[in-house]
Amino acid sequence: MEIRVSQFGHNRQTPLLDTIHNPADLRKLDESQLPQLAEEVRLDMINAVSRTGGHLGAGLGVVELTVAIHHVFNTPDDKLIWDVGHQCYPHKILTERRDEMRTIRQGGGLSGFTTRKESIYDPFGAAHSSTSISAGLGYAVARDLAGKTNNVISVIGDGSMTAGMAYEAMNNAGAMNSRLVVILNDNDMSIAPPVGALSAYLSRLISAKPYQSMRHLAKEIISKFPPRLETAAKRAEEYARGFFTGGTLFEELGFFYIGPVDGHDFSHLLPVLKNVRDCGFDGPVLIHAVTQKGKGYEPAEKAADKYHGVSKFDVVSGKQEKTPPKAPLYQNVFAKALIAEAKHDDKVVAMTAAMPSGTGLNLFQEEFPDRTFDVGIAEQHGVTFCAGMACDGYKPYATIYSTFLQRAYDQVIHDVAIQSLPVRFIIDRAGMVGADGVTHQGSYDLAYLGCIPDMVIMAPSDELELMNMVATSATIDDKPSAIRFPRGEATGKVDLPERGTVLEIGKGRVLREGKHVAILALGTRLADCLEAADKLAAHGYSATVADARFAKPLDVDLVKNLAANHDVFLTVEEGSIGGFSSLVSNLLANEGLFDNGLKFRPVCMPDIFIDHDSPAKQLEQAGLDVDGIFRKAMSALGQEVAKSSSSIA
């Protein structure tokens, strides 16, 4: 059935939801009304995402859980923290943002994740995984220090539990007496017995006051036993509960485990949440809720990825509006290049941190399943894992998004670079990423890798250059190297060979000769630099355009020649302040090339966070489009030019 929307954006099939403006309204409902509300939230969410695209499956899986939490707990005074944020759409619908849901991930609209600046119901912003327990513990300790009594609830998915940070937080929380409620949203892993009447009964039983009182009394009695008997009695009680409920792992970490409970059944959820709210636990509690990703929408339930991330789609059929790519995706070009290298060298192996399809390694895995390793959401471990393989003569390709590699920075320096190990870092999503926004932009890798001694850093200007750089990296056996490339389609303007050609390390190339302005580009902004040079020529200024290829080592001769033979020198990069331009300006300063009046201008991301929007609009805002590069050059020439009317509005 098609979901129809009124002029106010509300669904005509959602009479109960139409009465809910915020969680205070939700708490006025009778428990018997909550299943209807959940179904209406689900309908409203499907309708909204069908028009905007975004994350769908994860949110569908937590609709009942979201309704139950807001019904039982007094949000926003009680702090509800969502891990990652893929599943927060139902939460946004219920927390005063329903009318804005059709702006989600659009320029000027709602974020696709939780963010503190958007709502008081988002106490902690997140879009990377495994932060919720740490943040929740911080809130709980701050509450205790202030003498407050509010609850803190952290919701974390089973995928996020593959990251070490979650266990670090649990270990810390388990050693403290701060009240913290952690809800494990388990929609994939089989880490517990099947959910049913017995487990629901046990969960209600062990979370209730009578059990708590008896347990306290038992502890008092046990404490009077000789030490060995006391220890044995505690273990017996713990493992007895672990045998029935599957919670032994979490008990070992110091959490009181409750579950598993059916995350779609209010008769299971509500009693447990109320017991946890009212029983006054002395320390952290973990509620294990089992849910189904994509719940309630048949196309999502049947899809392999449960419609995790979708483009706009038809609600009735579930068919997504995906435009066929006009050119190969950079990630797939990388996969093609790596497969070619692996066919010639059986030491080539690849690692991804839970993103095989996003990085193209699913294609590599089809060819070389025994040489592909998915370590889960564990970038720190993944990098050191690669370092270990490199120590024994293998050629590991650590394939990680730029924004996620940040999480393994210590390992890059300590475990790889200091030991001069030839780990090849493949950095996807370098630069603007559109609707995913600031949390996923690959803004900083040039800056955080550029300061590491003896690191080779490459950035291709097109897909052929990417293939050549993969081939080049395979020959670097005495130091770490990195290749960064953007999200999305390549140029589609060059023919690709079966295998790339090895480049000379640290050598760039000149594509156009001029005399007034030198433009040295790193990466895929090169095409816009050539167009900017055309605009300069139309105003009477000729420009040399060069492709640096390497941020480290710099092509010293190329940089010196550009500086010596032009009045204005621009560097262009899709990265933050402190990256490629800093490396070039440092060389210019040390060589004394500023001393004769050279006008140097870096064109890079401004020192601000750029919110979600289309990549083209983000580049315009950053001044990294054709018009921005042109105007920067003209300004350095003393010719201020108004912003082009042809630029994106």
484 is catalytic: no
Report the Cα–Cα distance between both ends of the chain, in Å, rounded.
Answer: 37
Q: How far apart are CA 307 and CA 303, in angstroms?
A: 6
Q: Is 440 annotated as a binding residue?
A: no
Residue type, 493: K
Answer yes or no: are the C-beta atoms of 535 and 375 closer than 8 Å: no
Pairing of β 54-55 and β 599-603: unpaired
Q: Is 379 annotated as a binding residue?
A: yes
Omega before 553 within 30 of 0, i.e. cis: yes
Question: Of these residues, 42, 105, 204, 293, which one is catalytic?
Answer: 293
Answer yes or no: are the C-beta atoms of 330 and 466 closer than 8 Å: yes
Q: Is 415 annotated as a binding residue?
A: no
User: What is 44-72 written as a DSSP string?
Assistant: HHHHHHHHH-EE-HHHHHTHHHHHHHHHH
Question: Of these residues, 251, 379, 463, 465, which one is catalytic?
Answer: 379
| 155 strand-pairing partners | 82, 183
Question: Of these residues, 105, 407, 525, 617, which one is catalytic?
Answer: 407
Q: What strands, in cross-sheet order, belong to the sheet with 180-186?
A: 79-82, 152-157, 180-186, 284-290, 256-262
Q: What values do phi and psi take at 106, rounded to 5?
A: -100, 155
The SS3 call for residue 441 is coil
Q: How far apart are CA 180 and CA 135, in angstroms?
A: 11
**C-beta atoms surrounding 574 within 10 Å:** 30
The whole-angstrom distance between residue 21's C-alpha and the CA centroid of its chain comes to 30
Burial bucket for residue 12 (CB in 10 Å: 0-12, 13-18, 19+): exposed
Element (H, E) at 199: helix 197-207
Half-sphere exposure of 337 (CA within 13 A, CB side): 27
Q: Is 125 annotated as a binding residue?
A: no
Q: How far apart are CA 458 and CA 465, in angstroms?
A: 10
Q: Is 187 annotated as a binding residue?
A: yes
User: What is 324-392 written as a DSSP string?
Assistant: PPSS-BHHHHHHHHHHHHHHH-TTEEEEESS-HHHHTHHHHHHH-GGGEEE--S-HHHHHHHHHHHHHT
2 is catalytic: no
Q: Which two tokens stand for residue 281?
A: 């636990």
Q: Is 565 annotated as a binding residue?
A: no
**C-beta atoms surrounding 539 within 10 Å:** 12
User: CB-based contacts of 50: which residues, under 8 Å, 6+ apart?
Assistant: 3, 312, 313, 314, 315
Q: Is 32 annotated as a binding residue?
A: no
407 is catalytic: yes
User: What is 292-343 written as a DSSP string?
Assistant: -TTTT-HHHHHSTTTTSEE-SB-TTT--B--PPPSS-BHHHHHHHHHHHHHH
Q: Is 265 annotated as a binding residue?
A: no
Rounded (5°) CA angle 207-168-166: 65
| Binding-site entries | 86, 127-129, 158-160, 187, 297, 379
| Binding-site entries for thiamine diphosphate | 86, 127-129, 159-160, 187, 297, 379
The catalytic site residues sit at 293, 379, 407
| Binding-site entries for Mg(2+) | 158, 187
